[in-house]
Amino acid sequence: MKRVNGFNRDYRIFSSTLNRGGTAIVFTAIIALAVGAFFLKSDDLAHMSVVIGVSALDSAQAAPALESFAEFCRGKGCGDIRWKYGAPGETPPGCDFYLMTSLQLSERLAGGELGCALIAASREAHRYSRSAVIVRRGVRALPPEGARIIFTSPRSAAGFLAPYRSLARSGYRLEGASIDFAGSCARDERVVFGVLYGAYDAGGISLDRLRALEASRVIGETELDVLIEGEAFPELLLAYAPSSYTAERKAFVRRLPGVHDKVTYPLRSELAGLGVAGFYAPRESDLELMRSLASMIPDCFDAAGSGGNGDR
């Protein structure tokens, strides 16, 4: 009888040990599968082709920095990024995402044609771009009528819409002003030099870009004054077509901001010079503001921002 009881006790100990060992094996297998799935997913993303259409930046100016960024992203397993350049305001076919301005997106976002994946900020930790009306040093007011004003681009919220609105709110009569644009894509240097050398009485520009030009000594810090500081709006963003926004594309969007944060200082400076100092997920308030931008465009301009006296 003692032997039977001893056998039962030994069996229970063996059974308990077996159960614990089996449980450990099962959990180990689950963890191994999860880890394997993680690395498989990472590997899938690393080799996933991502085509980004670019219509908000001048290709000759932007291509070197964007190509370097794409190479860096490939090295960090963040998709095989390819850039596809298009004419200002167009969305090149066959793209997964589009690097465009908030004014370009506004009506399409409101209509559900495109969505906003990320906001590309012109300065770190700030989703919006500040704006300014600049004049030559010492100028305190614009001519009462017929002022010559240049804006960076008809498709720029910070370089056109916000400074235009700030001038109108200041009481200046813009109906009699001569209005030009530096180009279809933002060309900040043309604005600052146009004002500096007297071709224009004032210029509308992103205040962040003005400070960047001063910091790089393209212009002196005492050569221009800010006559009026305008509203801050989102400027550049990464848009997507809802019909093709797959789980893999969403994974790319989640990873991109962290990869951008790891770029080397020289490349970071180059990207910031294009207005891409960081990527941030849009909040609902950001989306609401971007949807409303098209309705803020002055009546003398169309929804694409064209109008005035030229788009030179």
- Per-residue pLDDT of 88-142, as tens digits, reads 878 888 999 999 999 999 999 999 999 999 999 988 889 999 999 999 999 999 9
Q: What is the pLDDT, as a whole number, of residue 251?
A: 96
What mean pLDDT do residues 267-288 have?
A: 95
Average pLDDT, the chain: 86
Residue 259: what residue type? V
Q: Evaluate if pTM is beyond 0.95.
A: no
At residue 306, does pLDDT exceed 60?
no
Q: What is the pLDDT, as a whole number, of residue 96?
A: 96
Q: What is the pLDDT, as a whole number, of residue 29?
A: 47
The more confidently predicted of residues 47 and 165 is: 165
Distances (CA, A) of 221 to 232, 239, 292, 298: 22, 35, 34, 32
Q: How far apart are CA 272 and CA 266, in angstroms?
A: 10
At residue 186, does pLDDT exceed 80?
no
Q: What is the pLDDT, as a whole number, of residue 88?
A: 80
Q: What is the pLDDT, as a whole number, of residue 216?
A: 85
- The pLDDT > 90 percentage for the chain reads 66
What mean pLDDT do residues 143-164 have?
A: 94
At residue 2, does pLDDT exceed 70?
no
At residue 51, does pLDDT exceed 90?
yes
Least confident of 27-36, 162-171, 260-269: 27-36
Q: What is the pLDDT, as a whole number, of residue 152?
A: 94
| φ, ψ dihedrals at 220, nearest 5° | -80, 150
The three-state secondary structure class of 240 is: strand
H/E stretch holding 117 reads: strand 115-121
